[in-house]
Amino acid sequence: MACMSETYIHMASVSKPHGVHGEIALAWYGVSPFSQSLPYYLQSGNSAPEPITIEEARMHNGRLLVRIAGVVTREQAAGLRGKKILTLRASLPPPGNNEAYVSDLVGSTVFLQDGTAIGRFSHVVLGTDVWSIIGDDGREILFPAQPDFIVVLDTDTKRIVIAPPEGLLDLYNTP
Protein backbone atom coordinates (compact mmCIF):
# COMPACT_ATOMS: atom_id res chain seq x y z
CA MET A 1 0.00 0.00 0.00
CA ALA A 2 1.38 3.43 -0.98
CA CYS A 3 2.02 5.92 1.78
CA MET A 4 0.03 9.15 1.96
CA SER A 5 2.69 11.36 0.37
CA GLU A 6 3.08 8.97 -2.59
CA THR A 7 -0.62 9.07 -3.44
CA TYR A 8 -1.97 12.45 -2.33
CA ILE A 9 -0.71 16.00 -2.04
CA HIS A 10 -2.06 18.21 0.76
CA MET A 11 -3.22 21.27 -1.21
CA ALA A 12 -5.18 23.21 1.42
CA SER A 13 -6.76 23.17 4.84
CA VAL A 14 -10.23 24.39 5.73
CA SER A 15 -9.81 27.62 7.72
CA LYS A 16 -13.36 28.60 8.56
CA PRO A 17 -16.89 28.96 7.24
CA HIS A 18 -17.71 32.02 5.17
CA GLY A 19 -21.25 33.34 5.13
CA VAL A 20 -24.36 31.34 5.89
CA HIS A 21 -24.71 29.15 2.79
CA GLY A 22 -21.94 26.58 3.31
CA GLU A 23 -19.00 28.34 1.69
CA ILE A 24 -15.59 27.68 3.29
CA ALA A 25 -12.33 29.65 3.35
CA LEU A 26 -9.22 27.65 2.52
CA ALA A 27 -5.60 28.09 3.48
CA TRP A 28 -4.20 27.26 0.04
CA TYR A 29 -0.70 25.73 0.05
CA GLY A 30 -0.15 25.35 -3.66
CA VAL A 31 2.07 27.81 -5.50
CA SER A 32 -0.12 27.44 -8.58
CA PRO A 33 -3.65 28.82 -8.63
CA PHE A 34 -6.63 26.69 -7.68
CA SER A 35 -7.91 24.44 -10.48
CA GLN A 36 -11.46 23.14 -10.31
CA SER A 37 -10.59 20.44 -12.85
CA LEU A 38 -8.46 18.42 -10.38
CA PRO A 39 -9.93 15.59 -8.32
CA TYR A 40 -10.19 16.67 -4.66
CA TYR A 41 -10.53 14.72 -1.44
CA LEU A 42 -11.39 15.71 2.12
CA GLN A 43 -9.46 14.17 5.00
CA SER A 44 -9.99 14.43 8.73
CA GLY A 45 -6.85 13.62 10.73
CA ASN A 46 -5.40 10.35 9.45
CA SER A 47 -8.69 8.90 8.25
CA ALA A 48 -9.11 7.74 4.67
CA PRO A 49 -9.60 10.63 2.21
CA GLU A 50 -13.11 10.95 0.82
CA PRO A 51 -13.78 12.33 -2.69
CA ILE A 52 -15.52 15.70 -2.84
CA THR A 53 -16.87 17.88 -5.61
CA ILE A 54 -15.94 21.55 -5.61
CA GLU A 55 -19.00 23.24 -7.06
CA GLU A 56 -17.73 26.80 -6.96
CA ALA A 57 -14.48 28.63 -6.20
CA ARG A 58 -13.68 32.33 -5.94
CA MET A 59 -11.23 34.74 -4.39
CA HIS A 60 -12.43 37.14 -1.70
CA ASN A 61 -10.09 39.57 0.07
CA GLY A 62 -7.06 37.47 -0.87
CA ARG A 63 -8.59 34.24 0.42
CA LEU A 64 -9.80 31.27 -1.60
CA LEU A 65 -13.47 30.45 -0.95
CA VAL A 66 -15.05 27.21 -2.17
CA ARG A 67 -18.40 25.51 -2.03
CA ILE A 68 -18.37 21.72 -1.65
CA ALA A 69 -21.32 19.70 -2.93
CA GLY A 70 -23.64 18.82 -0.07
CA VAL A 71 -22.39 21.55 2.27
CA VAL A 72 -25.17 24.12 2.33
CA THR A 73 -25.21 25.60 5.85
CA ARG A 74 -22.77 27.53 7.97
CA GLU A 75 -22.94 24.75 10.57
CA GLN A 76 -21.93 22.11 8.03
CA ALA A 77 -19.08 24.35 6.83
CA ALA A 78 -17.92 24.93 10.43
CA GLY A 79 -17.75 21.16 10.89
CA LEU A 80 -15.06 21.02 8.19
CA ARG A 81 -12.68 23.42 9.99
CA GLY A 82 -9.15 22.00 10.10
CA LYS A 83 -9.78 19.23 7.58
CA LYS A 84 -7.34 18.76 4.72
CA ILE A 85 -8.08 19.20 1.03
CA LEU A 86 -6.00 16.73 -0.99
CA THR A 87 -5.52 15.93 -4.65
CA LEU A 88 -3.92 12.96 -6.35
CA ARG A 89 -0.17 13.32 -6.85
CA ALA A 90 -0.57 11.74 -10.30
CA SER A 91 -2.93 14.55 -11.37
CA LEU A 92 -0.22 17.20 -10.83
CA PRO A 93 2.83 17.84 -12.98
CA PRO A 94 6.09 16.49 -11.58
CA PRO A 95 8.23 19.08 -9.79
CA GLY A 96 10.90 20.69 -11.97
CA ASN A 97 14.62 20.78 -11.32
CA ASN A 98 15.33 21.95 -7.76
CA GLU A 99 11.58 22.08 -7.03
CA ALA A 100 9.51 19.96 -4.66
CA TYR A 101 6.05 19.66 -3.23
CA VAL A 102 5.90 21.10 0.30
CA SER A 103 4.55 17.79 1.64
CA ASP A 104 7.76 16.11 0.43
CA LEU A 105 9.94 18.63 2.29
CA VAL A 106 8.35 18.37 5.74
CA GLY A 107 10.89 16.95 8.17
CA SER A 108 13.88 17.60 5.90
CA THR A 109 17.09 18.73 7.59
CA VAL A 110 18.04 22.27 6.59
CA PHE A 111 21.74 23.01 6.14
CA LEU A 112 23.80 26.07 5.37
CA GLN A 113 26.20 25.86 2.44
CA ASP A 114 29.10 25.15 4.83
CA GLY A 115 27.31 21.99 6.02
CA THR A 116 26.00 23.37 9.32
CA ALA A 117 22.58 21.93 10.17
CA ILE A 118 20.23 24.64 11.42
CA GLY A 119 17.01 22.67 11.92
CA ARG A 120 14.16 20.84 10.25
CA PHE A 121 11.65 22.13 7.71
CA SER A 122 8.29 22.35 9.48
CA HIS A 123 5.82 24.13 7.20
CA VAL A 124 5.13 27.11 4.99
CA VAL A 125 3.60 30.06 6.84
CA LEU A 126 0.07 30.30 5.48
CA GLY A 127 -0.39 32.75 2.65
CA THR A 128 3.34 33.48 2.29
CA ASP A 129 6.56 32.19 0.75
CA VAL A 130 8.09 31.94 4.22
CA TRP A 131 9.31 28.63 5.62
CA SER A 132 9.22 27.69 9.27
CA ILE A 133 12.42 25.88 10.25
CA ILE A 134 12.54 24.46 13.77
CA GLY A 135 16.03 24.48 15.30
CA ASP A 136 17.37 21.78 17.62
CA ASP A 137 16.67 24.16 20.51
CA GLY A 138 12.98 24.32 19.49
CA ARG A 139 13.14 27.91 18.28
CA GLU A 140 11.46 28.79 15.01
CA ILE A 141 13.47 30.35 12.19
CA LEU A 142 11.42 32.13 9.54
CA PHE A 143 13.14 31.83 6.18
CA PRO A 144 12.14 33.71 2.98
CA ALA A 145 11.87 30.85 0.49
CA GLN A 146 13.06 32.73 -2.58
CA PRO A 147 14.88 30.85 -5.37
CA ASP A 148 18.05 32.93 -4.81
CA PHE A 149 18.30 31.61 -1.24
CA ILE A 150 17.59 27.92 -1.92
CA VAL A 151 20.62 25.96 -3.11
CA VAL A 152 19.46 22.32 -2.94
CA LEU A 153 16.11 20.57 -2.45
CA ASP A 154 16.70 16.82 -2.17
CA THR A 155 13.51 14.99 -1.27
CA ASP A 156 15.20 11.57 -1.56
CA THR A 157 17.64 12.32 1.28
CA LYS A 158 15.32 14.84 3.02
CA ARG A 159 18.06 17.47 2.72
CA ILE A 160 17.71 21.20 2.00
CA VAL A 161 20.66 23.56 1.58
CA ILE A 162 20.04 27.29 1.90
CA ALA A 163 22.01 30.52 1.48
CA PRO A 164 20.04 32.90 3.72
CA PRO A 165 20.27 36.66 3.28
CA GLU A 166 23.15 38.18 5.20
CA GLY A 167 22.28 38.79 8.84
CA LEU A 168 19.06 36.74 8.85
CA LEU A 169 20.30 34.00 11.15
CA ASP A 170 21.90 36.58 13.46
CA LEU A 171 18.37 37.64 14.35
CA TYR A 172 17.79 34.17 15.79
CA ASN A 173 21.17 33.78 17.51
CA THR A 174 20.76 36.70 19.88
CA PRO A 175 19.05 36.22 23.24
* pLDDT, tens digit, 9 for 90 and up, residues 137-173: 999 999 999 999 999 999 999 999 999 999 999 888 7
pLDDT tens-digit series, residues 88-138? 999 988 888 778 888 888 899 999 999 999 999 988 876 678 899 999 899
The ranges assigned to domains in the chain are: 4-91, 102-171
CATH number of the domain located at residue range(s) 4-91 in this protein: 2.40.30.60
Class of domain 102-171: mainly beta
DSSP string, the chain: ---HHHHEEEEEEEEEEETTTTEEEEEE--SSPP-TTS-EEEE-TTSPPEEE-EEEEEEETTEEEEEETT--SHHHHHTTTT-EEEEEGGGSPPP-TT---HHHHTT-EEEETTS-EEEEEEEEPTTSSEEEEE-TTS-EEEEE--GGGEEEEETTTTEEEE-PPTTTGGGTS--
pLDDT digits (tens, 9 = 90+) for 54-88: 999 998 887 889 999 999 999 999 999 999 999 99
How confident is the model at residue 118, as a pLDDT? 96
Q: Would you state the pLDDT for residue 32?
A: 66
